[in-house]
Structure 1
Amino acid sequence: MLKLIREMPLIGLFRDIKGETKFEASGMTIAPFNDPHYRVEEWLWIVFDNLHALGRIDRHMEFAAKKNELVGHKPGENESQFEGLTYIESTGHFLAMEEVRYHEKHEELHPFTHELRISEDGKQYDTVQVCPVHFTLMGENKGFEGVHYQQRDGEDLLMGLCEGNHCWGGERGKDAGNGRIVVSVSNGKSGNGCGWNVVKTVRIPRTAYFTDYSGMAVRGDRIAIVSQENATLWIGSFDWQALEFVDEGRVFHFPRDNHCDIMYCNVEGVQWLDDVRFVVSSDKAKKYQSYRCVAQEQKVHIFALPEDA
């Protein structure tokens, strides 16, 4: 069982909430920002699938802290559908993963990356380019839920976590224990010609016996994956040369209530803080879910692995 350290509703973190009351947090990453006013070396950055904004949060998670910022908030636009976020150290840019979009040229559903550049004052961002991942998705709301960027042997490598089993939606997507990570490389182009070409679809070991896969985080050769429906975290070891898992991994459950019922029903994003601690984001609860789920919705939480992990 994971051990809760601290949690805070997202609406309580920002001094200026920009008129927003709904924060459907999804992906997150740890990345620097050189702000001369605050001595913070690394910040927690969060995307929301309902907002065109990046949340920049000091990892102390203080209530209504002035240094926490909704970067580039664009009110009135359609929902962003950003489900994952990763950082490119060489450029200082971010890649936000749009879960799924209709690709007009191919007449198929594909995930898309949005390369985002933060302004010098840290208040805004602009979109450098939007690039498709050339992978056909089989459902309009079952795309990539997590993303990780890494350079390997001089090439840009992108990992996308499929939400559904077999990378499908519908009943086949609920066939537990068939999780997939799609690995692709950049085609090196910019602008409208950019894209990511798939090199391998990686099977997640069946010990991650989940009906959905909602977030992914990488630390060295360890990959953490969370499931929203199962309220569970799985950690496995990964070989970056072979691009495959090398062990069966281990499962950890989020805390339950006194009746052993799930409380963390909407776990969406995950990121390592160090070797034993994680930060996790929770999405908005569904209308049909229990009050237990509503109590934990739209929050960030910090958990620790058990001592025997």
Structure 2
Amino acid sequence: MKLLKEQTIADSFVDLSMYNEVEMFPDRFESSDVILSRDGHVMYVVFDNMYNIGVICTSLGRSFNCTDELLEWPQSSLKNKKSSFEGIAYNPRSETYFVVQEAIPTDNKKIFQANVFEISINRKDSVPVRIIESCLINHDFDTQNKGFEGLEFVLHQKSKKSYLLALCEANQCNHKSTTDNNGRVVVLEKTKSTSKSTCVWQPVGTFDLPSSVHFDDYSAISIYHQPSYKLPTHVAVTSQENSQVWIGTIEEINKAPFFQFSSLNKDTVYNLPRTTEMASECQIKYCNIEGVTWRGKNQLILVSDKAKTDQDIHCIEKDQSLHYLGLPKHLTD
């Protein structure tokens, strides 16, 4: 994959100090997912260390006087709390967004479940982010930091139903798994709230990445959405540990789990750019990729989390940033 350009997340918000907001300015931007708006004007970025939603303008958006900003979460009590946000997806039917929390505590201390916020975003509103609903996912994890790492919204053309696709971070959706080729997606259907029960996202099935994809973890998923949201279409899945991206296709089927992945007729696991200081040794430098979104048919935009203290200097140089990468032109033709 070819690097086209990149920037740190902080570069988008550094001028907040001009408006006497320096005390509110976060010192870390642990970005965990990104989505490009359908008009191509902005990218929305979520962070796992805070509830703010980042708005970063594209070059197209800037031509329409777009400005970068951090949108505050409407619940002020959560202002300085860790969000555990790991994915964001767009619902074209209602023009709303879904944001998933990786895994949060339940009444049972040994069980954790992910939670999905459905929100509206209107930057012109006095309250730009509004919570429509908050619903747990009825899927248990036994650890808080190995839950769902990516989220997508998808329409099933035949049934006319909509689903969320939640990408598990661990192989087999189990952090104890010792395999490296069992990437898994959980298909979720919403059960609406009633006078007697709260809303919940119910798993209706799971489907796997091709077994030829050998990843140690899975950090993000993005579907290339055609204007009509028809399938089949292309899909990208990233691995943070391997610093790689798999490009394949997703299509619908008539019975549960209603969707499946398939490989393209090529080797479609791509390394993110490596260091080239030593000809005999190429090292990983994109060590913390957490989010991905399509930008046209042959480009991806990725976001990276904060580097760990024990990681190499190359990793630190690329953390908390946006990365624009080009795919081979023949790939998605």
TM over 0.5: yes
Q: State which of 154, 169, 176 in structure 1 corresponds to 2:160.
A: 154
Q: Is the 8 A contact 2:114 2:148 kept in 1?
A: yes
Q: State which of 233, 238, 241 in structure 2 corresponds to 1:226.
A: 238
Partner SS, residue 244 of structure 1: strand
Q: TM-score, normalised by structure 1?
A: 0.89
CA distance in 2, matches of 1:139, 1:244: 27
Q: 1:1-309 counterparts in 2 under 5 A?
A: 2-14=1-13, 15-16=15-16, 18-31=24-37, 42-60=41-59, 67-72=67-72, 76-104=79-107, 108-119=111-122, 121-122=124-125, 124-152=128-156, 153-170=159-176, 172=177, 174-189=178-193, 193-220=198-225, 221-241=233-253, 242-247=258-263, 250-258=268-276, 259=278, 260-309=282-331
Q: 1:302 to 1:199 in 2, by over 3 A?
A: same
Q: For this pair of structures, how many residues does the alignment match?
A: 297
CA radius of gyration, larger in: 2
Instruction: After superposition, give the CA deviation of every residue in 1:95-117 in whole Å (9 maximum; x if it has no partner).
Output: 10100012338973211101112
Q: 1:210 to 1:127 in 2, by over 3 A?
A: same
CA distance in 2, matches of 1:276, 1:66: 24
Please state how far the C-alpha of 1:218 moved relative to its aligned partner: 0.4
Q: Structure 2: give runs of 5+ residues left out of the alignment.
A: 17-21, 226-232
Please state how far the C-alpha of 1:255 moved relative to its aligned partner: 0.5
Q: Which has the higher mean CA deviation after the structures are superposed, 44-53 or 189-198? A: 189-198
CA distance in 2, matches of 1:233, 1:278: 10
Which residue number corresponds to residue 35 of structure 1? none
The Cα RMSD (Å) is 2.3
Q: TM-score, normalised by structure 2?
A: 0.83
CA distance in 2, matches of 1:7, 1:179: 28
Q: 1:6 to 1:120 in 2, by over 3 A?
A: closer
CA distance in 2, matches of 1:107, 1:130: 22
Partner SS, residue 223 of structure 2: strand
Partner SS, residue 198 of structure 1: strand
CA distance in 2, matches of 1:286, 1:94: 30
